[in-house]
Amino acid sequence: MSDDHVYLSLAEGHESGDERWAFGTGFEDPLYGVDTAVPDGVDTAELAASCLALGDDALVSTQRLAEWTTRAPELEEEVALANIGLDLLGQARLLYARCGQVDGTGRGEDAYAYFRDAEDFRPVRLAELPNGDFAFCVARLLVLSSWRLAHFHHLTASPDPVLAAIAAKGVKELTYHRQYAAEWVVRLGDGTEESHRRMRAALEQVGPYLDELFTAYDAQEEVAAVLRQVTQAAGLPFPAGQSLPGAGRDGDHTEHLALLLAELQSVARAHPEATW
């Protein structure tokens, strides 16, 4: 089966030379020129919470994808996963920057990424889970990218011009992420007996976390349609399972988040305010 087609400004406040741990030097703001003033009628607390949660999803997913460096099945896939992670890191940067502009703290991206404890993070729990095998990696990526893409499509109409611009940029990136994952799910599901078994097991692992995603943002119909189309092409059952209690958005996390953050934050905390 062919898997080629499974289915048919924040620059303010960043002075020159203010390089930080996360992002190095030489970056230009892709949203330069976007009006950063919060429009009348927009709830700043709600806007900040939304940016923070979406930024946390992206940052935690980036760290999990980075763990595939030197471990992916092939060099080409290692590069692809790294590039997807860089896209998500870019989204996290923009979302954290907007959060700092509207939550009254004036904090920068590094403060949100490196100097908050696990109980202050709000990612969905599916993003926190350890990587497992490559089948689980692409199953999770398919679910998260499909869900995030549906959410970002909605946010392109946000009354906040900055969040709308971030979403519009992210839609292009997430469309590729979803396509990449979908092609691998079909390839593995429609491959050998072993790859089919592993892909089915991976979908069973992500199934219990679907309801949490739909609670965080109601995109059930859009995401379910994508998953049904992909799993049908792969000869796999729709990922379903008994929902797990709790939600990352409410601060209920797996035991894996604190370990992930300890590794992610170790250098920045050992050398606070260092530049490079």
Mean pLDDT, 10 residues at a time, the chain of 276 residues: 42 41 47 86 96 98 96 92 96 96 93 96 97 96 97 96 95 96 97 97 95 86 93 94 84 95 94 81
Could you identify the residue written with the tokens 């940052």?
Answer: 59
Write down the pLDDT at residue 11. Answer: 37
Side chain identity, residue 262: A
In a domain, 265, yes or no: yes
In a domain, 82, yes or no: yes
Count of domains for the chain: 1
In a domain, 221, yes or no: yes
Query: What are φ and ψ of residue 237, in 5° steps?
Result: -75, 155
What is residue 105's DSSP assignment? S
SS3 114: helix
Q: C-alpha distances in angstroms, 255 versus 123, 128, 129, 211, 265?
A: 13, 9, 9, 20, 17
We report the CATH number of the domain holding residue 204 as 1.20.1260.10
In a domain, 2, yes or no: no
In a domain, 23, yes or no: no
Q: Is 140 exposed, middle or buried (0-12, 13-18, 19+ CB in 10 A)?
A: buried
In a domain, 155, yes or no: yes
Q: Nearest to residue 120, comparing CAs of 38, 42, 60, 47?
A: 60
Write down the pLDDT at residue 28. Answer: 56
Write down the pLDDT at residue 272. Answer: 87
Q: Nearest to residue 95, comparing CAs of 39, 165, 184?
A: 165
Domain residues for the domain of 52 are: 44-270
pTM of the complete model: 0.87
* C-alpha dihedral, 219 to 174 to 259 to 74, nearest 10°: 130
**Spatial distance between the Cα atoms of 223 and 214, rounded to a whole number of angstroms:** 9
